[in-house]
Chain A
Amino acid sequence: MYLNGVEIEETFAEAFTMRGTRLTVTAVNERWARHAALAATGFATSVIGCGVEAGIEGPAVSTPDGRFGLDCLFFAFSKEDMEKHLIKRIGQAIMTAPTSACFDGELPEFQGQDDAVSKLNIGGKLRFFGDGYQASKVIGNVRYWRIPVMEGEFLIQEDFSVVKGIGGGNFLILAESAGAALLASEAAVEAMRAVRGVILPFPGGVVRSGSQVGSNYKFLSASTNTAYCPTIRGRLDSLLPAGVNSVLEIVIDGLTFESVSRAMQVGIIAASQVQGVKRITAGNYGGRLGKHHFHLQEILR
């Protein structure tokens, strides 16, 4: 299949079930909301190395306190991991940011599916930072914790909703030059940012060092994706077609199969319109490891 002259390989991206949650971070203005959200979602590119994958989804449509807010998505392997990392990240990155408050994003995508949504008590654990001077306030059946801080008071919701999401949706852009690959990636990321319910956890939404499972070294569980590294093409069984000199990957985590699928669709279409892109493919493990398969050609149909 060809799209805008770019070959779309008949393959699929293999993704995994992860636990996902949405946080809404508000502050007195966009500047401070963004400071808090960026810090909270920083160094959260890969669950393997960072324990959690996170990113800013976009501006919140509405916030409980009526201030500017940013929705952030977090993905972890288990509820326990999620709890551990949220407590750390909210405590160290959001509570510390002046004027910030933190609310459950409530996951309206799962409205009416009560069985699919579970709760994590985050605010109720962070409250102990208040050293006994914390107080709670129930407003509209929702409990919030008020933690005294030097600036005034940090407000955080007690419970956060967690669902089964999807981590590891991906596609690879194979281009004739590094410049073309980067331009195509930027175009893809810009298009995908408009899709709600997904994040692109890597820097700028792009990965240049995609990995493969296993390594020649016993102490490593993952290593560089040798089959797609152009500089060693001649030394191994490369998967790079002739004329391809650079590859970049886009990794997508999302709350639902549909949102990941939609993001991949708009991203691939945008990337295919950039001059110099030769082929678009996806990473998988032969379908043996991940439950969710995103077939590129089906997505584009």
Chain B
Amino acid sequence: MKTQVTLVLKEIPSLPVEAELINPENVTEKGIPEIKSMLLWCGNRQERVGDYFEVEITSLEESKNGVADPVLNSVNKGEGNLARLVLQGDLSKFKRLGQGMAAGEMLIQGSAGFHAGALMRGGTLLIEENAGDWLGAHMEGGQILVKGSAGHFVGSAYRGKTKGMTGGRILIGGDAGQMLGARMGRGLIAVEGDCGDVPGFGMMAGTILIQGTSGIRVGANMRRGTVILLQSKKLLPTFYYNCTYELPFWRLLYNQLIQAGFSLPASYQDVSFRRYSGDANEGGKGEILICHCP
């Protein structure tokens, strides 16, 4: 029987907590004492889940007041008997939640700290409020849904690494910070709100969509891949204009985003795009598509 494990935060910690062990796979088929004894690091101090959370385990059929999110339910069919993991409270001090998770569903009813969903390989991570920096960094698969805003370096490569996110999708309901999708190589990042400077920096493949306004230097140093801007933007001089046209794959992407619960007005369904190629400093094989709204 599929179960739901709920971790209820007792008190917001004063220092950041490294919580990379908290993911659906690690709590499945464990009892409450086992889950409470899972290790966390707070600075140089080793602590346990039970120090920060109350733990409840219920069968999924009984947890009518638990997760009833249609997005989670629609994307996680066939995830076997992995427990659904729900975290309640302001977890903005908890880093690396859902890091490396390969399957299952994890719901954070609150905010998440840095590195949430980093190195993720599968499954779904839903954050109902805000996410910190490095959300989905080096992500390989699965999907991350953030109803609030996300910090800097979403889906990016860590310092010293050459390739960031290589698969999966990250959908952000609010705004995103700087360096969105920096050095990403495949995957999809979509932001309903605004975005900071240099989105798509050095990207090598994949797709970034920004519905709101974006900061300066969009796509700087990008080698390949696609940045889609639904609001007009002055680009770097190393991007050159090609044409204005109806993008054949736009309807497919639009439909996929709508199905995933991303909010895009119907007026964007049939639009043309101005296509720019660049960054010319890096070969010019990337593209920025700017919505040509009449």
Residues on A facing B (Cβ under 8 Å):
64-67, 101, 135, 137-140, 144, 146, 152-155
List of A residues within 8 angstroms of B247 by Cβ: 153
Sorted nearest first, the 8 A-B pairs with minimum C-beta distance are: A155-B248, A65-B251, A152-B245, A139-B252, A140-B256, A66-B251, A137-B249, A64-B252
Q: Is the CB of B256 within 8 A of A146?
A: no
| A24, chain B: closest CB distance, angstroms | 12
List of A residues within 8 angstroms of B186 by Cβ: 138
Q: Is the CB of B245 within 8 A of A155?
A: no
Give bound CA distance, A135 to B287, whole Å: 10
Q: Is the CB of A144 within 8 A of B251?
A: no
The 0/1 profile, CB within 8 Å of A marked 1, for residues 176-209 of chain B is 0000000000101000000000000000000100
Question: Is B236 part of the contact surface with A, judged by Cβ < 8 Å?
Answer: no
| A209, chain B: closest CB distance, angstroms | 41
Q: Is the CB of B256 within 8 A of A101?
A: no
Question: Is B47 part of the contact surface with A, judged by Cβ < 8 Å?
Answer: no
List of B residues within 8 angstroms of A140 by Cβ: 252, 256
Write the chain B residue with the least CB distance to A154. Answer: B248
Question: Is B253 part of the contact surface with A, judged by Cβ < 8 Å?
Answer: yes
Q: Considering residues A67, A101, A139, A140, which has the most beta carbons from chain B within 10 angstroms of its beta carbon? A: A139
Write the chain A residue with the least CB distance to B207. Answer: A137
Question: Is B81 part of the contact surface with A, judged by Cβ < 8 Å?
Answer: no
Write the chain A residue with the least CB distance to B270. Answer: A66
Q: Is the CB of A144 within 8 A of B246?
A: no
Q: Is the CB of A144 within 8 A of B252?
A: yes
Residue in B207, B224, B243, B252 whose beta carbon sits within 8 Å of that of A65 in the complex: B252
Question: Is B58 part of the contact surface with A, judged by Cβ < 8 Å?
Answer: no
List of B residues within 8 angstroms of A66 by Cβ: 251, 255, 269
Task: Enumerate B44-85 residues with CB–CB distance to A below 8 Å.
Answer: none
Question: Is B211 part of the contact surface with A, judged by Cβ < 8 Å?
Answer: no
Q: Is the CB of A155 within 8 A of B249?
A: yes
Q: Is the CB of A139 within 8 A of B245?
A: no
| B12, chain A: closest CB distance, angstroms | 38
List of B residues within 8 angstroms of A101 by Cβ: 248
Number of A-B contacts (CB under 8 A): 41
Residue in B207, B245, B255 whose beta carbon sits within 8 Å of that of A153 in the complex: B245
| A85, chain B: closest CB distance, angstroms | 24
Question: Is B226 part of the contact surface with A, judged by Cβ < 8 Å?
Answer: yes
**Range class of the B interface residue count:** 10 to 19
Give bound CA distance, A224 to B255, whole Å: 52
Write the chain B residue with the least CB distance to A140. Answer: B256
List of A residues within 8 angstroms of B285 by Cβ: 135
The 0/1 profile, CB within 8 Å of A marked 1, for residues 236-266 of chain B is 0000000101111101110110000000000
List of B residues within 8 angstroms of A144 by Cβ: 249, 252
List of A residues within 8 angstroms of B287 by Cβ: 135
Q: Is the CB of A139 within 8 A of B249?
A: yes
List of B residues within 8 angstroms of A139 by Cβ: 188, 249, 252-253, 256
Instruction: List 17 additional A-B contacts (Cβ < 8 Å) besides A65-B249, A152-B245.
Output: A64-B251, A64-B252, A65-B248, A65-B251, A66-B269, A101-B248, A135-B224, A135-B285, A137-B249, A137-B253, A138-B186, A139-B188, A139-B253, A139-B256, A146-B248, A152-B243, A153-B247
| B249, chain A: closest CB distance, angstroms | 5
Write the chain A residue with the least CB distance to B187. Answer: A138
List of B residues within 8 angstroms of A65 by Cβ: 248-249, 251-252
Q: Is the CB of A152 within 8 A of B248?
A: yes
Write the chain A residue with the least CB distance to B285. Answer: A135
A-B contacts, 10 listed (Cβ < 8 Å):
A66-B251, A66-B255, A67-B251, A135-B285, A137-B207, A139-B253, A140-B252, A140-B256, A152-B243, A153-B245
| B116, chain A: closest CB distance, angstroms | 23
List of A residues within 8 angstroms of B251 by Cβ: 64-67
| B4, chain A: closest CB distance, angstroms | 27
The 0/1 profile, CB within 8 Å of A marked 1, for residues 6-26 of chain B is 000000000000000000000
List of A residues within 8 angstroms of B253 by Cβ: 137, 139
Give bound CA distance, A153 to B289, whole Å: 14
Give bound CA distance, A264 to B43, whole Å: 76
List of B residues within 8 angstroms of A138 by Cβ: 186
Give bound CA distance, A144 to B243, whole Å: 21
Give bound CA distance, A139 to B287, whole Å: 17
List of A residues within 8 angstroms of B224 by Cβ: 135
Write the chain B residue with the least CB distance to A152. Answer: B245
List of B residues within 8 angstroms of A67 by Cβ: 251
Write the chain A residue with the least CB distance to B256. Answer: A140
Give bound CA distance, A137 to B255, whole Å: 15
Give bound CA distance, A273 to B169, whole Å: 58
Task: Enumerate B222-238 residues with CB–CB distance to A below 8 Å.
Answer: 224, 226
Give bound CA distance, A137 to B248, whole Å: 11
| B63, chain A: closest CB distance, angstroms | 30
